[in-house]
Structure 1
């Protein structure tokens, strides 16, 4: 849904004819809520994505939706631990951002970013449980330490 830009963001709902009293982003309340904004343009989401990249040992300037997906598709090929972790982190990030948006919008519940990052880390730890990891590679060891993978 996210890749196809089919998520019911406030702007998209308005385009479908629904009356929405406020089209602003639930995280920053500054600009209209679009898929591109809530995932990679909003400062809130950017901070979380930056933290995920740093856990992967990647320090780069964050782009927009298409730019981030293009970068991931180009750079993250193969079956290395970094590639596995990053792909899991990206999918978990999209899910968690959308879930957090809905919790704030419909339940008024706000979680600290540290809790959200912890839920992503936990998700990855669970998904990698039982996967064979080459622990003789120093990059894998550093990645396991960063993500708390045992």
Structure 2
């Protein structure tokens, strides 16, 4: 079998063989242009294959999705919804219309004449913004609510520390996203509506119920011994 650039790869080749050939193709085309760079990873006077390999990998911007998805504490159904939200897989109106499903386009939560999209629902919508702001004030944080990506970026950095207050903040964020989604569904499909007070109290109660299982949360929960102000 030849070693030309267009060498034939049998269909029955294993996955690892295909990967090896693909790597060879990469070296024969792309790596040539970065050979001088590959000579830089020197550690203690010795060439480091590990560092060189890392330099050859595609460099993508870091995201904070993982820290929110694997956060310990949130209720499983909340974690499922936050996973969908982080990957923008929620069935918002703009996505439903792409699937050919005709529904009312206006946001049913804030009742403004604006197409319901993921970006609007979190947290351009006055309804969800009001809830998240009340939760943040409850835990003593005075923060201007940003759009979805800025809130995820901020929360992702917070929860990586695993400190009780930050883990609780992650719990409250996932609970807020879950309840906003459920309230949106009830508004749109069941014509049911909860007050701000009722929804925020549900989130606070869930925190205290789940918090009984986490000894490290005790001091924080003691400070949150009142309902959030709406």
- TM-score class, shorter-chain normalisation, is 0.7 to 0.9
Q: Does 1:46 align with 2:129?
A: yes
Question: Is the CA contact (8 Å cut-off) linking 1:23 and 1:32 kept in structure 2?
Answer: yes
Q: Does 1:144 align with 2:224?
A: yes
| TM-score, normalised with respect to structure 1 | 0.86
- Work out the CA distance in 1 between the residues paired with 2:106 and 2:217: 46
1:78 to 1:24, Cα distance in 2 relative to 1, 3 A: same
Q: Which residue of 2 aligns with 1:133?
A: 216
CA RMSD between the two structures: 2.0
Structure 1 unaligned spans of 5+: none
Question: Is the CA contact (8 Å cut-off) linking 1:38 and 1:45 kept in structure 2?
Answer: yes
Q: Which residue of 2 aligns with 1:64?
A: 147
Alpha-carbon shift at residue 143 of structure 1 (Å): 3.6
Question: Is the CA contact (8 Å cut-off) linking 2:186 and 2:192 kept in structure 1?
Answer: yes
- Work out the CA distance in 2 between the residues paired with 1:3 and 1:134: 26
Q: Which residue of 2 aligns with 1:79?
A: 162
Q: Which residue of 2 aligns with 1:114?
A: 197
Question: Is the CA contact (8 Å cut-off) linking 1:55 and 1:143 kept in structure 2?
Answer: no
Alpha-carbon shift at residue 16 of structure 1 (Å): 1.9
- Work out the CA distance in 2 between the residues paired with 1:102 and 1:11: 15
- Work out the CA distance in 1 between the residues paired with 2:184 and 2:197: 16
Aligned length: 144
Alpha-carbon shift at residue 114 of structure 1 (Å): 0.4
Question: Is the CA contact (8 Å cut-off) linking 1:82 and 1:143 kept in structure 2?
Answer: no
Matching residue within 101, 107, 111 for 1:25:
107
Q: Residue deviations 1:46-102, cap 9 Å, x none?
A: 110000111111101110000000011123332222112111101111110000011
1:110 to 1:79, Cα distance in 2 relative to 1, 3 A: same
- Work out the CA distance in 2 between the residues paired with 1:76 and 1:130: 18
- Work out the CA distance in 2 between the residues paired with 1:147 and 1:132: 21
